[in-house]
Each structure stands twice: as C-alpha cells, then as structure tokens.
Structure 1
Amino acid sequence: MAGLIKEGLLRSTWIPGLQFVRGRKVNVQRPRPPHYERALALAVLQPQYDWDSKVANSLPKSETCMKIPEIEKYKTRPDNPLERIFAKELKELFETKKLIAFLHANPICGEDLFSARVKLKKEGMKLEVYSKNIVKMALNGTPYETVIQLFVAHSALIFCDEPKVGKLIKIVKKIPQYAIMAGIVEGRLLSMTQMQAYAELGDLDSARAQLVATLNSAGSGLVSRLTQAQNNLITNLNQIIEQKTKVDS
C-alpha cells in the first residue's frame, strides 16, 4: 500500500500557482516614520557638516572629510631604528654600485622570486625590495633625490658592481613579473631606451680598442698623405733615369 502511494506521488505533476496580494499604497509625500532602531541608525549616519550650504559644496572633499584628524595621525611616522639602518645600507649601495635598476614589480610568488634571485646572483647582481619611506630617508639631500618619484609603495631594485646593462635586460625579459623603468649607470640616470642604447655599445675594453684603432688609422692616413708627394717624385725621377740610360745605351 505504501509503495502504491509513493508511486502515485512520484507520478503526479505539481503546477506552481501564483497569487497576487494587493498591499497598502505607499505614501511618497508623507512616508511613515521608520522604526526606532532604524531611525537611530539613520541619525548616527547623518553627516554633521552643513552639506546644504553653498560654502560646503564649494569646499574640496579634503576639507569636508570628517576623518582628517585620524589621517593626520598616520602622516607622522614614529622613529624606527630598523628603518634607519636599512636607509643607511641603501645609501651606501647607491654610492658604491655602478649599476642600479628600478623595477616595476607585479604580484610574484615565492618560488618565482627565488628563481629570479638565483638568475641575477649568477651574474653578480642582487635583488632587493625597499619601501618608499626607507628610500626617502636614504636619498633625501643626495644627488639621487629625483628617483624618489619612481617609488609609490614597495619597489624592487637591482644592484651590481659592474655596468652589465645588456645582461640585466636579457635576464629581466625572462621574468614577466618585473619590468625595468629606469636605471643609474655609473652615476647617470638613464631611461629604458637609453639603457638599451648603452647595452649596444659593448663593454669598455672593446670601446677602447675601437678608439685606438680609429686613432691609428687616422695617424697612418696622415703619414701616407704627407709622404705621397715625395714618393711620387722619387718614382718619376727613377723613370726619367731609366729612360736616359736606355737612350745612352
């Protein structure tokens, strides 16, 4: 019996029905006062500034904000001895390293960051991350003060004892999470385009060899031009002597 009832219930089709209930009409012009708790919440959330006045509408949001005292607390940072130590180390790196690259860092996982450090370490380069406050503390009043504008939050820096610009560009191209914004090469601030042009010049030894070859070619050319008239005169005299000897014979 129970099986027949269950089978009948499963086979039966249920059709949903809709029933419209007409409620009370809402009075838009004179709405009903809210509940006490809701009225209390609305009173607390109501702005204390006179927003209806013309003066309030003309003022910027920075002056009408009610949290300005709280914001002012965060503008003055307490003295942190650890940040001063990091700033001193960063200043020494800027003064001693011949190559400093400023990177735009995208989100990167720990494994990719470790592999990037290994690739740079093989070429004698070091990857470091510093906050904007430490950079300001280290570079204020130095010739490198203009690079503070490149820092918005925590940014990555690459330091190297030698100006290996070409190798740096090749390595960073293989790391999609980083992009070179600018760099300091031997005390000069260069953009990414200028760094690429610098990398195409080659190393200093090859440039010196090219300069020596150019100077030698210029000197040898000058000597050949100076002796060209004498050589022509000697060859002409030899030809005249040979002709006279043939005539006499």
Structure 2
Amino acid sequence: MIFTRKPLLEILNPFVQTKRLRGKINIQKPKPPHFVKATYLALTKPFFHNPKKNLPLIDLCTKASPTRKEEIENPFQKILAQEALGYFQSSKLIAFYHANPMNSIDHFKAFAAFHKEGMLMKGLGKKTLEMAIKGTPYEAVLDIYVSRNMIVFSSEPKIKQLLKISKRFPQLILMAGVYEGKFLHIDDLIKYSSIPNLETAQAMLAQNLKSSASKLHRQLNSHQTSLLALLNDRQKQISDSSE
C-alpha cells in the first residue's frame, strides 16, 4: 500500500499580477499624440456657441428666481368659488378646522356626523377661497387658512352639536368660527354654547315673569288676608262670649 502525501495531490494556482511595462501614466503632462492622430482629433473636435459668454455675474447665477408663469383662468374654479361664497352668505354658523392626516373612513364618518346635524363639511383650496371671499366681510378668514383646512357650514347656529362632533374626531382641530356674521375665537364659541337657544330663553323669561307676578300678587294680598283672618277670629270670640 503506497501512501502519498497531501501536498502532492493539491492543485496550485499561480498568482498573477498585471503591471505596465513602462510605469504609470502621466496625467498632468501627457505625452502628445502622433501627428496623424493629432490631426484627426483636431478635425473631429466639437465646437458650439457658448450662450453665457460675456454675460454679467448676476445673469450667470444659477439660483436666480424663476420667471413667474402666466396664470391660466380655470372656469371650474370660478364655479367652486361662487358656490363657496353662497355657503358663506347663507350660513349662520361657519367653523374653521385645521385638518391633520386622517384616513378615508374617519373622513367619511366626520362628514356623515356633520351631515346628520344639517351641516356641510367641505375642503377648499387657498386659491379658490381667495377668489370667493376676496373683498367681502369674510376676507379676514384668509389669515388662518394657510395649511390643509376644512370648513363646516351650518344654516342653523348649532354650536353645541358642532363642539360635540369635534370632540369625536381629534384629527379636526377647531380654530375659529363665524357666528351671526361675527368672527369669533374658539373660546367665544364655547361661551356661546352655554347660552340657550331663543325658544328656551323665551320660555325661561315667561316663567320668570309668571313667578314674579304670582309673588307680587301674594305680597299685595298678604295684609288683607291677615286682617280678614284676625277679624274672623275676633267675631268668633265675641259670639262665644255672648252665648
């Protein structure tokens, strides 16, 4: 039995390293090409007119403000603006919300909750809203309409219902509102919500007037009633003594 050592069975791969024959290339001072090659390179060298030649430095600045594009009139945007102005003029209560990101399901639930109370939740763009209320008494609204906003229009001043629905959707942050043509802060809306409506206030006033009249009637008749009771007691005493 013949034993061979392991090194004799291995295949040795030679190590190959490439190397230039005459050293590295001189990049800073390259060798000039051959005359024929230099001729062809000169003939095929591209040439073009430089549009920035002899321009001042202010025109060579690459960060110059771009030219403003000409605005194109959008008929559909005008229709939306007229519709929004009609909502502003016909609504007794208008609420302005800052809308944080919310999914479509929550958005539909909020729209349905406001619609159930007779309110309309609508999203309008900054340009459309500016076209609608520019030059109107509602122009001050543009100062708070700077990001993604939502507007709720209500033909009736249902402030309590509005605040109740707003608590159910934290993505909608109430900022301000317009009540009976007056621009109000959220604190003022909360204060107005504690005031009862006209029918309740009239009923409370009628109840107070009725109770005051009854109290006055009792006070005016108290002396006569007391005098009559004393006279009846005296008459009873006299009749008892005579018998």
TM over 0.5, shorter chain:
yes
Which residue of 1 is the match for residue 107 of structure 2? 113
* Alpha carbons of structure 1 residues 187 and 241: separation in structure 2 relative to 1, 3 Å: farther
- State the SS of the aligned residue for 1:108: coil
Contact 1:128 1:156 in 2 (8 A): yes
1:183 Cα deviation from its structure 2 partner: 1.5
Q: Distance in 1 between matches of 2:117 and 2:81?
A: 25
**Highest CA radius of gyration, 1 or 2?**
2
* Alpha carbons of structure 1 residues 94 and 100: separation in structure 2 relative to 1, 3 Å: same
1:90 Cα deviation from its structure 2 partner: 1.1
Q: Distance in 2 between matches of 1:89 and 1:99?
A: 17
- State the SS of the aligned residue for 1:127: strand
1:75-154 superposed matches below 5 A: 77-154=71-148
Structure 2 alignment gaps of length 5 or more: 1-5, 11-55
Q: Distance in 2 between matches of 1:234 and 1:140?
A: 76
- State the SS of the aligned residue for 2:123: strand
Contact 1:99 1:161 in 2 (8 A): yes
Give the CA RMSD over aligned residues.
Answer: 2.8
Q: Which amino acid is 1:48 matched to? A: I
Which residue of 2 is the match for residue 243 of structure 1? 237
- The structure where helix makes up a greater share of residues is 1
Which residue of 2 is the match for residue 206 of structure 1? 200
1:78 Cα deviation from its structure 2 partner: 4.2
Contact 2:98 2:148 in 1 (8 A): no
The partner residue of 1:162 within 156, 165, 168 is 156
Contact 2:96 2:176 in 1 (8 A): yes
Q: Distance in 2 between matches of 1:228 and 1:87?
A: 69
* Alpha carbons of structure 1 residues 104 and 228: separation in structure 2 relative to 1, 3 Å: same
The alignment of Structure 1 onto Structure 2 pairs a total of residues equal to 189
Structure 1 alignment gaps of length 5 or more: 6-45, 50-64
Q: Distance in 2 between matches of 1:137 and 1:214?
A: 50
Q: Distance in 2 between matches of 1:192 and 1:161?
A: 19
TM-score, length-scaled by structure 2: 0.67
Q: Distance in 2 between matches of 1:201 and 1:128?
A: 27
Which residue of 1 is the match for residue 221 of structure 2? 227
- State the SS of the aligned residue for 2:176: strand
